[in-house]
Amino acid sequence: MLQWLNDLGETRLNLSGEGSFVKGIAAKKGQTIQIYLVNFDPGNANREEVPLLIANLTPGNYQLTKEWFGAKEQVSTKEITAPTYVDNITFSANQSFRLSLERR
């Protein structure tokens, strides 16, 4: 987890929509947008589905990297034709996730 925090960019981005259990932070590192989310649930009971929308993007090809803490990252290329990227992230209780989006 410390590696993730060390990788976080210094330029903070606005992040809205956090809930009772899901908290997050968004940043920019160079040209890469980074979003870190965690479903912190002391009762270890709540599964959460979180809608994700990244706005104000320049249309083009992007490298999308998704990673759940302790699991292998998933890397793909996305063609973004609108100025937004939309996704849904499903969390088990006490699971951490990070996403990075970099224009190619």
In the chain, where the domains are located:
2-103
pLDDT tens per residue, range 61-85: 999 999 999 899 999 999 999 999 9
Please report, in angstroms and rounded to a whole number, the separation of the first and last CA atoms in the chain: 27
Scored b (16 or more CB within 10 A) or e, 51-65 reads eeebeeeeeeebebb
Q: Which residues contact 32 (CB under 8 A, 6 or more apart)?
A: 9, 100, 101, 102
Chain mean pLDDT for the chain: 91
The pTM for the full model equals: 0.88
CATH label, 2-103, candidates 3.40.50.300, 3.30.70.1450, 3.40.50.1220, 2.60.40.1180: 2.60.40.1180
pLDDT confidence band for 1 (50 / 70 / 90): low
